[in-house]
Amino acid sequence: MVEEIVVNPVTRIEGHAKITIHLNEDGSVREARFHVTDFRGFEKFCEGRPFYEMPSITSRICGICPVSHLLASAKACDDLVAVETPRTAVLLRRLMHMGQIIQSHALSFFYLSSPDFLLGMDSDPSRRNILGLAEKHPEIAKQGVWLRKFGQSIIESLAGKRIHSSDWIVPGGVKTPLSKEKAEAILSAIPKAVETALNAVTLFSKTLESLGDNVGDFGDFPSYYMGLVTRDGGLEHYDGRIRIMSSDGKIVADQLDPSKYFEYIGEAVEDWSYMKFPYYKPAGYPGGAYRVGPLARLNVSSRCGTRIADGLLKEFKKLGGNGVVQNTFMYHYARLIEIVYCVEKAEEILRDPEIFDMNIQAKASLNRREGTGVIEAPRGTLIHHYRVDEQGRISWVNLIIATVNNNLAFNRAVAQVAKKYVNGRTLSEGMLNRVEAVVRALDPCLSCATHAIGEMPLKILLYDSENNLVDEVGRG
């Protein structure tokens, strides 16, 4: 008798996202499958559109991290026009990127995840959110809100008060320079931002201690790790080359050309999912499963390149054997370290003598028929790859979204949690809570992970082999 449990988060986005857990005949968990929205339709939708519309179009893929798509898309367009983007424009784009990572990580940690471990994994779900947090730990909630605002204020300083800043970034550069006043305003908030981020690091260390062995429930498994690094192996989010590390800490590939991703990344398909399953080609499928995102980036990076973050990275690497941290829960930790890094980096960029230079856009029209843009989005490596016809109309698009890069990892992490908490013919609330928590740790870019400020409308249904409902837990 094979049973199927369906965890179906009702999402606000179109399409669907759900978790199905597949049992063996003896009731133990065989595997878990994480299904998310179909991005293929989007790729089709772009065909025939002028290439320079792509930053604007793709930044609508999601309202949570539009800046990521904007940047990856703009870089792919830069590639198509094949001109050198002025250094100041690159600095300003990087600055915006730092702002968005800060706000995205702050949202993930403070708003969505910290209620789980600060209020207790099994506390009342209707209070287990930022509002409940504000009641019990007002200081922490305030810090989270402030940090997120700080990140957003960087984006606004550059592009104005729009969520979709799509007409600020253009192929070949950016539209408007940064004003001195706005730069000053960001700089003056930097010390508080560093302090706030470091407070969160301390808070998280304490949480780690109190959780003890339970941390193992969060998806502790080996995989490959992928991320962009600088020429000397340092942490990199905007440019750089691809480095891949194995679960035992060996760098198995380094300084790979990101625009040649298809040479080393395979995209497998499964008949039960619209989403592809990227894997590291030399290791085969599904053995070549890799993780991306904050945890992967810190694993593959030899250094951060900023003072405080470098110290934190050293401590971080001690948490895993061979310097590789495999536990999915540590995504949170990695996120916080990245916030510190981004704040330090933002300061460095703002103090660059060329930051106010007026040469911010190289003007050019189409010069190539194929272009690729790869960045490290908050959630991991994001690839935009376009082909155009002779007029510059998109003829083919491939997008590998960060969340899709983590596809195999999601399934493994959820399966691991399920293995521990699903047993027999009844489901526990604890299982629901822990599935939620591990999904949040991976921070998929889906409205389901952010829905209703932290409370995920989840449903787990347990059917027997004759399709009779034998148990059901859920909320939302």
Total residue count of the chain as it appears in this document: 476
Report the residue number, 99 or 171, with the smaller CB distance to other proteins: 171
393 in contact with other proteins (CB under 8 A): yes
Binding residue count for other proteins, defined by CB under 8 A = 18
Q: Which is nearer to other proteins, 306 or 361 (CB)?
A: 361
Binding flags for Fe ion, 399-438, as an x/- string (CB under 5 A): ----------------------------------------
Half-sphere CA count of 183, side-chain side, radius 13 A: 17
* Beta pairing class for 290-291 and 224-229: parallel
Q: Are 305 and 230 in contact (CB under 8 A)?
A: yes
435-456 burial, b if ≥16 CB within 10 A, otherwise e? bbbbbbbbbbbbbbbbbeebbb
Q: Which is nearer to Fe ion, 62 or 414 (CB)?
A: 62
For residue 171, the partner it binds in Fe ion, other proteins, none, with Cβ less than 5 to 8 A by kind, is other proteins
Residue 60 CB-half CA count within 13 A: 10
- Binding region for other proteins (CB under 8 A) out of 88-96, 169-177, 407-415, 468-476: 169-177
Residue 392 binding: pick among other proteins, Fe ion, none (C-beta 5-8 Å cut-off by kind): other proteins
Q: 56 is in the binding site of which of other proteins, Fe ion, none (Cβ under 5 to 8 A by kind)?
A: other proteins
| 170 part of the interface to other proteins, by CB under 8 A | yes
What CA–CA distance (Å, rounded) separates 92 from 100? 12
Among 210, 272, 318, 391, binds other proteins (CB under 8 A): 391
365 binds other proteins (CB under 8 A): yes
Give yes or no for residue 167 binding other proteins (CB under 8 A): yes
* Residues in binding contact with Fe ion, number by CB under 5 A: 4
Cα 470 from Cα 335, distance rounded (Å):
39
**From the CB of 445, what's the least distance to Fe ion, in Å?**
3
d(CA 326, CA 306): 24
CB 170, min distance to other proteins, A: 7
| Bridge partners for 279 per DSSP | 266
Partner that binds at residue 365, options Fe ion, other proteins, none, CB closer than 5 to 8 Å by kind: other proteins
Interacting partner of 36 out of Fe ion, other proteins, none (Cβ under 5 to 8 A depending on kind): none
62 binds, among other proteins, Fe ion, none (CB under 5 to 8 A by kind): Fe ion
Binding residues for other proteins restricted to 193-222, rule: CB under 8 A = none
Q: Is 151 exposed, middle or buried (0-12, 13-18, 19+ CB in 10 A)?
A: buried
Q: Which does 277 bind (CB under 5 to 8 A by kind): other proteins, Fe ion, none?
A: none
445 makes contact with Fe ion (CB under 5 A)? yes
User: Of the ranges 6-14, 350-358, 379-387, 390-398, which one interacts with other proteins (CB under 8 A)?
Assistant: 390-398
65 binds, among Fe ion, other proteins, none (CB under 5 to 8 A by kind): Fe ion
Per DSSP, 178 falls in state P
50 binds, options other proteins, Fe ion, none, Cβ within 5 to 8 A by partner type: other proteins
From the list other proteins, Fe ion, none, pick the one residue 445 interacts with, judged by a Cβ distance below 5 to 8 Å according to partner type. Fe ion
Torsion sign across C-alpha atoms 446, 451, 456, 461? negative
Q: In the numeric block, which tokens belong to residue 180?
A: 């001195």
DSSP structure class, residue 425: T
Interaction of residue 375 with Fe ion, rule CB under 5 A: no
CB 423 within 8 Å of CB 387: no
**Which residue's CB is nearer to other proteins, number 74 or number 101?**
74
171 binds other proteins (CB under 8 A): yes
Q: What is the pattern of x (binds other proteins, CB under 8 A) and - over residues 34-73?
A: --------------xxx-xx--xx--x-------------
- Compare residues 15 and 160 and give the one whose CB is closer to other proteins: 160
Q: What is the CA radius of gyration of the chain?
A: 22
Distance in angstroms (rounded) separating the CA atoms of residues 394 and 384 = 12
| Residue among 462, 441, 421 nearest 20 (CA) | 462
In the complex, the smallest distance separating the C-beta of residue 456 from Fe ion, rounded to whole angstroms, is 17
Give 269: exposed, middle or buried? Use CB within 10 Å, 0-12, 13-18, 19+. exposed
Q: Give residues 56-85 in contact with Fe ion (rule: CB under 5 A).
A: 62, 64-65
Q: Are 78 and 85 in contact (CB under 8 A)?
A: yes
| Alpha carbon distance 373, 398 (integer Å) | 11
Segment (H or E) for 22: strand 18-23
* Contact pattern for other proteins over residues 395 through 424, marking x by CB under 8 A: ------------------------------
Instruction: Please say which residue, 88 or 450, places its beta carbon nearer to Fe ion.
Output: 450
Identity at 348, one-letter amino acid code: E
Place of tokens 């979709």: 164
Shorter beta-carbon distance to Fe ion: residue 72 or 350: 72
DSSP 249: S
Q: Residue for token digits 């010069």?
A: 367
Task: State the residues that interact with Fe ion by CB under 5 A.
Answer: 62, 64-65, 445
Residues that bind other proteins (CB under 8 A): 48-50, 52-53, 56-57, 60, 164, 167, 170-171, 175, 363, 365, 391-393
